[in-house]
């Protein structure tokens, strides 16, 4: 007898279905009015869509006046940071499969709003520049490559991941109420060089951060760590800078 071989028949995978999403967006255009308004749009979204896809659909198909920043759309440039349902996120990284049927979108807090979801980033970058986020060395220029052990590199690896999206700084309650506070992102970028074995400017940066608007303003609420799209342990980094100031050992 000839054996009859059973064949397994695979069932076609059902295509993902879209669902209507209500997107409530904070609108502001100083060229028209000083008043803030809220406008709600309805847009179909697939589970694989990002929030940024919805904003682009609204701008392209419903309201071309909607204004927001975006660039790479892959979570690298950090330009599309905004508050999504009350939490700082990158719009290009938030999947709709993880979101409810209603979204509330507004600009990140603590920075002047220029239009709709766009804020003036200059105060943020001013604090970033103030901590001297670059390698500082003294003496003669080295004649060969400056080698660094893997352990020394690992010491500050986490804080090299910052993409300057400002999601951490603008999630900080201290920054909301005190625009002079350096903020988490500036401290993270100072940390990256303070603990770099090749750098010789640690003392200078520590003095800058020892200012009353420096690390001592941190209240350890962990908002910054939760908001970071790169998963940087920001609160831990701030605590390490505080310890370096207390013991002056880096």
3-state DSSP call for residue 3? coil
Q: What is the pLDDT of residue 212?
A: 86
Please give the DSSP secondary-structure letter assigned to residue 176.
H
Q: What is the pLDDT of residue 250?
A: 46
Q: What is the pLDDT of residue 249?
A: 52
Burial 194-230 (b: 16+ CB within 10 A, else e): bbbeebebbeebbebbeeebbbebbeeeebbbebbbb
DSSP string, 98-154: GS-SEEEEEPPTTS-EEETTEE--HHHHHHHHHT--S----SSPPSS-----HHHHH
39, β-bridge pairs: 25
CA 238, distance to chain mean position in Å, is 16
Tokens of 154: 């690992």
What is the chain's pLDDT, residue by residue, as a tens digit (250 residues)? Answer: 555 555 655 566 677 899 999 999 999 999 999 999 999 999 999 999 999 999 999 999 999 999 999 999 999 999 999 999 999 999 999 999 999 999 999 999 999 999 999 999 999 999 999 999 999 999 888 888 888 999 999 999 999 999 999 999 999 999 999 878 999 999 999 999 999 999 999 999 999 999 988 999 999 999 999 999 999 999 999 999 999 999 875 4
Q: Closest Cα to residue 133, out of 154, 149, 156?
A: 156
Helices 122-130 and 184-194 pack at an angle, to 10 degrees, of: 30
Tokens of 123: 């105060």
Element (H, E) at 87: strand 87-90
Q: What is the pLDDT of residue 12?
A: 62
110: left (phi over 0), alpha (psi -120 to 50) or beta: left
Q: Closest Cα to residue 78, out of 29, 128, 43?
A: 128
- For the beta carbon of residue 238, count every other beta carbon within 10 angstroms: 23
- Distance spanning both ends of the chain, measured CA to CA: 81
Tokens of 225: 């760590």
């Amino acid at each position: 007898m000839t054996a009859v071989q059973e064949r397994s028949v695979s069932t076609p995978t059902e295509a993902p279905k879209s669902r209507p999403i209500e997107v409530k967006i904070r609108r502001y255009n100083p060229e028209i009015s000083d008043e803030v308004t809220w406008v709600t749009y309805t847009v179909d979204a697939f589970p694989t869509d990002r929030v940024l896809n919805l904003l682009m659909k609204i701008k392209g198909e419903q309201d071309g006046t909607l204004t927001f920043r975006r660039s790479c759309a892959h979570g690298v440039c950090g330009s599309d940071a905004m508050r999504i349902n009350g939490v700082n996120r990158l719009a290009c990284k938030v999947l709709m499969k993880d979101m409810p049927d209603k979204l509330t979108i507004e600009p990140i807090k603590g920075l002047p709003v220029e239009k709709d979801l766009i804020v003036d980033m200059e105060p943020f970058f001013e604090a970033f520049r103030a901590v001297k986020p670059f390698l500082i060395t003294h003496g003669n220029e080295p004649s060969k490559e400056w080698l660094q052990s893997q352990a020394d590199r690992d010491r500050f690896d986490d804080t090299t991941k910052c993409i300057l999206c400002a999601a951490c700084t603008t999630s900080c309650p201290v920054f909301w109420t005190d625009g002079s506070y350096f903020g988490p992102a500036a401290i993270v970028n100072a940390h990256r060089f303070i603990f770099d074995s090749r750098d010789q400017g640690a003392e200078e940066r520590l003095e800058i951060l020892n200012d009353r608007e420096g690390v001592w303003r941190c209240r350890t609420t962990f908002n910054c760590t939760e908001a970071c799209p790169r998963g940087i342990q920001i609160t831990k980094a701030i605590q390490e800078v505080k310890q370096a100031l207390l013991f002056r050992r880096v």
